[in-house]
Structure 1
């Protein structure tokens, strides 16, 4: 059975996808104790380490065939605006160098690295790629909407395929039929409130009115921000990107509510039996940071097939 390690493991999107693809995840790490706690709860056979990956002693990490990694993306994301220039985000961008350190020591056959598209705009991205090349790896960037892999969510991400090959390896990824948000929405659950309740922002009321005119009584809309404009989205298409904060509201006639944590995890393609915190905000944060397991599975399967 192929083996892997998972860097910046979080709730375990990569690891869950790897398991579904027939890969054994030997070791996983994150600097955040809460993330390690829940990754360990869902992956009991994996060795876990809670530490800053810049401080990892790679000789203590098991030898593996595949490295999976999702370095911190906040410092690259355009949604951070001017904040992306502050020292905290400079530090977050540097987490990508842990991937190079791991590759240098263990030289696995391949690696899959996930991030936002803006990762390639990082001033040090050319130097990072040069370091990966110096270790004998080719770099093949794939920009993928996870909805095209069967995830019920439009989530465009950069996946870098690193292989010890003569030329960059572009994976053969078959486009899947899009799965609608309706597949995971539960209109009988959740805490609903009246749309016309006192104090509701006029911008929200305008979005509801515009959404009704376009989609009828049931639809999804962004509760804040500019996503999906001012009209919302049809529930018969994938939901928009799940973020670390509550963003999507579900409208049903004269009532509305935010997506539940379970719905957010389902939108990310996590299995229904995934163990998670009993804290809504914490679960939403972990869900929004995760790699959709189904997307991870499809990528790993394509890589194993091509190898």
Structure 2
């Protein structure tokens, strides 16, 4: 099955498709850094660096499967959805590129990934009606990546669009969760004292709360609503575009390495990343978890 990847980013959707036996023939993103690293890891695919509002779909190869992960920032609770915010309005509008591409190519299967709040978008119903007009049934699925083989709790929406008489509703299995301890190297990384000058009071409070719950080894979140520690015996929380998770070991702590973030996202261990830690984390935090994607595509293949 040949597939294309819109808003391909670091390549999580493409990698998941390849794990499911698909052949990625084309991928696009507006961010040059993302295109560079996607092309390094998927050299056989054609690549385009462009705002997809302006894409010429006649130049895109024929395909059986379209993957698309439009910008989520305008929908996400973490970034806000205030009306009249031009940046967020522009972000949400990227979803219309999926309609444009589908109108030209009409592939038999489309899978769209985003945050669940995408379904609350004021223009979601018109978007869905546009896809219906092109002959597609739309089946939303809200999944946690931890239930589908990634060692990370990451709630995302997957729309399965098929040219069928009825929506294709998947019965996705809930797999055994993989703990964060499976990929965190307690002997590696750049450890620093917890009680060092300048350490934020909120961080020290999180460490104290985590130690009371979990002993000497656990995780804490540097920001967000998580005020206590997180056990290493459960999946890690959502990997974001900037350093979020710190590992605690006794009286020392460190942030996750970029390779640990890669493993938390379920990318293969040989997946190439930039040496620049900040860039690597940004790419990974924007990505789709590959192993859950492969399990979703395998289930689609089984029931279609």
Asked if residue 92 in structure 1 is aligned to residue 94 in structure 2, the reply is no
For residues 7-64 of structure 1, the C-alpha deviation after alignment (integer angstroms, 9 at most, x for no partner) is: 0001100110111100001100001111000000000111111111111111111110
Query: Moved runs in structure 1, 4+ residues, more than 3 A?
Result: 82-85
User: What CA RMSD, in Å, does the superposition of the two structures yield over aligned residues?
Assistant: 1.0
Separation of aligned partners in 1, 2:263 and 2:218: 17
Q: Of residues 255, 260, 263 in structure 1, which corresponds to 2:257?
A: 260
1:1-307 matches, cutoff 5 A: 2-81=1-80, 85-227=84-226, 230-307=227-304
Separation of aligned partners in 2, 1:285 and 1:115: 17
Residues 153 and 238, structure 1, Cα contact 8 Å, conserved in 2: yes
The count of aligned residue pairs is 304
Separation of aligned partners in 1, 2:255 and 2:179: 17
Separation of aligned partners in 2, 1:69 and 1:226: 29
For residues 229-274 of structure 1, the C-alpha deviation after alignment (integer angstroms, 9 at most, x for no partner) is: x221100100000011111111000000111111111000011111
Provide closer, same or farther for how the CA distance between residues 95 and 266 of structure 1 changes in structure 2, counting only shifts above 3 A: same
Residues 76 and 84, structure 1, Cα contact 8 Å, conserved in 2: no
Deviation at 1:84, TM superposition (A): 6.6
Separation of aligned partners in 1, 2:295 and 2:83: 31
Provide closer, same or farther for how the CA distance between residues 80 and 179 of structure 1 changes in structure 2, counting only shifts above 3 A: same
TM-score (normalised: structure 2): 0.98
Provide closer, same or farther for how the CA distance between residues 280 and 58 of structure 1 changes in structure 2, counting only shifts above 3 A: same
State the SS of the aligned residue for 1:67. strand
TM-score (normalised: structure 1): 0.97
State the SS of the aligned residue for 1:78. coil
Structure 1 unaligned segments of length 5 or more: list them.
Answer: none
State the SS of the aligned residue for 2:168. coil
State the SS of the aligned residue for 2:225. coil
Structure 2 unaligned segments of length 5 or more: list them.
Answer: none
Deviation at 1:82, TM superposition (A): 6.0
Deviation at 1:191, TM superposition (A): 1.1
